Chains A and B, each alone.
Chain A
Amino acid sequence: MSGILKTSIARKFAMALSGLFLVLFLAQHFTINFTSVVSPDTFNEISHFMGTNFLVQAILQPVLIFGVVFHFIMGFVLEIKNNKARVVKYKNYNGGANAPWVSRNMIISGAVVLAFLGLHFYDFWIHEMQVKYLQGDMSGLNAAGEFRYYEETVAKFAGQPVRLGIYVLSFVFLMLHLLHGFASSFQTVGFNNKYSKGLKVFTKAFAIVIPLGFAFIAIFHYINNL
């Protein structure tokens, strides 16, 4: 194990594992968010559980934050190292002839998703931290004594076309990032066999369905409150 974290393959392996972890998180996040479309009460119940459960808050949340930070920092580290591997650039580089745009521009799609996360944290996470840990209100209730999660979520999109536009655009870039990144992570951890074709179909479907699903939820709440 001594040298495993010092080499290019080790860094890529760590990048792939953190990416796969974030994909799992995305699936879980989407599932919970989707309940806001079909059942506000269920959304409130799950949100309260996730927001107050000790295991989720004290263990899973820090692990998730570490995973996000690690993935982005390692992404930029790899990009810098890769740029240094070709000091003199080609005058004529026809990258589109042999590789799709999404695979050659992960740093762009990743940077957009990172910028989006800043807004998303500002919108939801920082507010939650303030209410729960600075104000000490773990009840999850509003002034009327009802769960506040659904109304707070809807309020972010109702009558907010600019925010909606930013969210939808960010989900498009998330889709572009996943279209290459999800399948690529399996290749990096050494999975390339007779099942890879089927796996690739699944990863592409996931990369399209989940971000579009997130966009649908945001659009739904916007339209539902016109």
Chain B
Amino acid sequence: MKLKLNIWRQEDANAKGQFESYDLDGIDGDMSFLEMLDVLNNNLVEQGVEPVEFDHDCREGICGMCSLQINGEPHGPDRRVTTCQLHMRKFKDGDTITIEPFRAKAFPVIKDLVVDRSAFDRIQHAGGYISVNTSGNTQDANSIPIEKENADMAFNAATCIGCGACVAACKNASAMLFTSAKVSQYALLPQGEIEATERVLNMVEQMDKEGFGNCTNTGACEIECPKGISLENIARLNREYLSASFKG
């Protein structure tokens, strides 16, 4: 498969970036998108050109490290997959592929396609945890009965890998789907009740401080989320926030 790649190159966070075009040959349809970039980088290194920086780690859709806006969509044209799970068979011979970093004021570019997503960490630190007695008398979580429906919804919310595709897809660069998933996974469980009020207030406050946009319910985040995090979580976040505002 022959491809033409238009890739965003940016020396560092302060540099002005631009698109560079690369021709690539010999790409197999069974390669992952990141393996295709590995091939490109091998070629670039052999030519003495600085390789393209991009985030990756587990390469099996779990860690949330890989990102990339591919032909206008986060994680590319496939659904419910991360960039590392995207196969080149989704593209045709002769295609031109435009690869950009996730764009958001809260996700500044560090270099090339690598963005700083630590804003998500700070939202999580603001309240995405529960207090557990670790003195040696910790109660087994499984000993607390939890309604099956709630347990399932909490688990689904907890599958958010924090990749940032929701922000990248949203026309407003809103982080509501991420924040709502992190709030929901605790709001639905008895273990999360103790800090429930403070959690949602603090996480939303941090989300706003980071400079993310407002949710306008376009649903793009849900469609592009590799883990299929539902918009129900955003409605729950809104309920939790309003309830906490009146309590707090």
Contact = CB atoms under 8 A, between A and B. Distances in A.
Contacts of B218: 98-100, 103-104, 180
Contact of A98 (B71, B215, B224): B224
A84 B208 contact: no
Given A84-B211, A99-B220, 11 more contacts: A7-B241, A81-B213, A82-B214, A85-B211, A86-B105, A90-B72, A91-B6, A95-B72, A187-B235, A190-B242, A192-B235
- The interface size bin for chain A is 35 or more
Contacts of B71: 92, 94
Contacts of A144: none
Interface of B: 6, 8, 19, 69, 71-73, 77, 98, 100, 103-106, 109, 169, 171-174, 201, 204-205, 207-208, 211-220, 223-224, 231-232, 234-239, 241-242, 245-246, 248
Contacts of B234: 187, 192
Closest 4 CB pairs of A and B: A94-B72, A85-B213, A192-B235, A190-B239
12 contacts: A2-B248, A3-B201, A4-B246, A7-B241, A78-B216, A82-B174, A85-B173, A85-B174, A86-B105, A92-B72, A94-B72, A95-B72
A97 interface: yes
A62 B195 CA distance: 42
B139 to A, nearest CB: 31
Chain B at the A interface: SS class: mixed
Interface string A56-72: 00000000000000000
Interface of A: 1-4, 7-13, 78, 81-82, 84-95, 97-100, 103-104, 106, 180, 183-184, 187-192
B171 A82 contact: yes
Residue among B73, B207, B232 with the highest chain A CB neighbour number at 10 A: B73
